[in-house]
Chains A and B, each alone.
Chain A
Amino acid sequence: MDQSIYLACLNNSCPDLLQKLAEKMNKTFLFPVRTLQLKLDLKSFYSQEREQYEATSILKSLESLRPNFSGKIIAMMSEDIYIPIFTYVFGLAHLNGNSAVVSYYRLQNQYYGLKPDHSLLFIRIYKEVIHEMGHLFGLRHCYKSWCVMYSANTIDDLDIKSDAFCEECEQILLAIARR
């Protein structure tokens, strides 16, 4: 099983961010992390009513690109995303799936009326990427509020939790990596 992780920015919107994320992840994880360029027309995922992009359909499109690469893909985008039942999501991945999507629209300080903070934004995106990666490797949400697998639905929750797995989640992840 290919355990490589491919980081991609939809429509090449954030190449510097991708590189930085890949470097940090390669230092931390056993899985090789690579970057990827992806072109995806987002128009069909746009909801006029919600003025957001529908994340479930984006995941399906990412799946359709899979014959071109093995491993798991985590795509980032600057637009706001939702799923039918939720008003918004920061990211979406299916348990043991191969594709995940992360939106940094609501991770930016500007969204909350604050001054931009690029280093804080990077930390938030990193946490969200690691969280979705955890789901792709079969990790469920963790009840410990400081574990990266904690389900953070607000920016405060996201800032409070750390960017690391708790001991329990780490053990599960290591067991998966050794398979």
Chain B
Amino acid sequence: MDIKILIVDDEESVRDSLASWLEEEGFLVFVAETAEEAAQILARQDIDLVLLDIRLPGMNGLEFQKQIHTNNPDIAIIIMTAFASVDSAIESLKRGAYDYIVKPFDPDELTNIIRHAVKQKLLERENKELKEKLSGIQGMDEIIGDSPAIRKVKELILLVADTESNVLIRGESGSGKELIARAIHMNSKRKFAPIVAVNCGAFTETLLESELFGHEKGAFTGAQYRRKGKIELANGGTLFLDEVGDISPKMQVDLLRVLETRTITRLGSHQEIPVDFRLICATNKNLEKMLEEGSFREDFYYRINVFTIFVPPLRERKEDIPVLTNFFIHKYARILNKKPKHVSDDVMNLFLQYHWPGNIRELENVIERAMVICRDEKITPTHIPNLGSDAIAEAEPLSLKELEKRHIQKVLRMAEGNISLAARWLEIDRTTLYLKMKKYGIKK
């Protein structure tokens, strides 16, 4: 990796001998007599380090330092000064110079300063590259599709990511809610801290309590060691609670307290530990119905539901199916060490007609299976499970009235009979929905 150093000094002997010495050290060296000449080099070259004389004809070193900090804030500046102008050098340090060195230089001192600056520069560069790589892996690139529905989701992610608001992600099982949560995290200020995911549906109440809050040694039978909870582990980052609708009312109270006090207490301890995290929750449950039934607390609901993102089911963004298919084919070609394959027109038609109740997860599974069993270059209907009957049902020609009736029935089923939620999803008011239900003889 070439490190580019620019020497700015009006004395030819300094420029030449320093350039020669730095070239021997293996650096790529540029020289300039004035700040104006140096500015032209900086505009053309990606310079890492500037060795800047404080006294220059025209624009002086301190003024030029300011200009560099404004235009190229990543460049490290080492100020070169005569003994008489050490005060100015100290002033330059206050203004953000990396270091200063007095002329004539002690070779050992100059070597150490430059080596440290270069080492820091390389670390910064590596750090930046890794961060870019990381955000590329788990950011928006992972959300595949360009349909209006998914574009809207991406817009909402970018809108909310940089805020500290709690987010509730709603959508059917397999629609990619965790991916959305990770994209929010990776586009937020907290992206360099961890995102800790907890599937709340996978634990009993007691286990979930220990999982979230951690415990001290001996807090309960089997607690042989002190263990940090997921909330503590998410400190500085994001806590993602998946299947939040499965949390018991008691745990909702405990979590509400954490959200209000921003402290936790491990099981078996009285010590309060401060925590700083952003909360993202996800559910496929009808929380509004649960509120009515009293199984979900209203105060907790409003606390987690500051900003809602609805993830559309795959059947509502069918135009994304070809690109998703291609994405998963390439993914499994890599994993299975096979060549990427094409899908036949028949298969793509079936995919487009099928209603995908298991959403993207189901599509991924179908493609994974096809990639495993297909030995040809093309995936044909023989390589995929029987999606036929449902697809045909979807494919039969319907009148607009019948289509509207079926759609209302479907949305009501999804909303588990919650009229307000169904009306919101249908983007009509509740009265209109009641009228349409009456018209088509639909019951709740």
Contacts and interface: CB of A to CB of B under 8 A. Distances in A.
Interface stretch (A67-75, A86-94, A113-121): A86-94
A87 B104 contact: yes
A166 interface: no
Given A94-B20, A151-B25, A86 B111 contact: no
A83 interface: yes
Interface of B: 11, 13-14, 17-18, 20-21, 23-26, 103-108, 110-111
B107 to A, nearest CB: 4
Contacts of B103: 85
Contacts of A151: 24-25, 111
A2 B389 CA distance: 88
Assign chain A's interface to a size class: 10 to 19
Which of A56, A85, A140 has the largest count of B CB atoms less than 10 A from its CB? A85
Contacts of A153: 106-108, 111
Contact of B104 (A82, A140, A143, A157): A82
Contacts of A56: 13, 17
Interface of A: 56, 82-89, 94-95, 135, 140-141, 143, 151, 153-154, 157
Contacts, number: 52
A152 to B, nearest CB: 9
A94 B104 CA distance: 20
A4 to B, nearest CB: 23
Given A86-B110, A95-B23, 18 more contacts: A84-B14, A84-B104, A85-B13, A85-B18, A85-B21, A86-B17, A86-B21, A87-B105, A94-B20, A135-B24, A140-B23, A140-B24, A140-B25, A141-B25, A143-B26, A151-B111, A153-B106, A153-B111
Nearest to A84: B13
The 6 closest A-B pairs by CB, nearest first: A153-B108, A153-B107, A84-B13, A141-B25, A86-B107, A140-B26
B107 A87 contact: yes
B106 A86 contact: yes
19 contacts: A82-B104, A83-B17, A84-B11, A84-B17, A84-B104, A85-B14, A85-B18, A85-B104, A87-B105, A87-B107, A89-B107, A95-B20, A95-B23, A95-B24, A135-B24, A140-B23, A140-B24, A141-B26, A151-B111
A87 B106 contact: yes
Contacts of B106: 86-87, 153
Contacts of B20: 94-95
Contacts of A157: 108
Which of A87, A95, A135 has the largest count of B CB atoms less than 10 A from its CB? A87
Nearest to A149: B24
A159 to B, nearest CB: 14
Contacts of A154: 108
Which of A82, A86, A143, A154 has the largest count of B CB atoms less than 10 A from its CB? A86
Contacts of A95: 20, 23-24
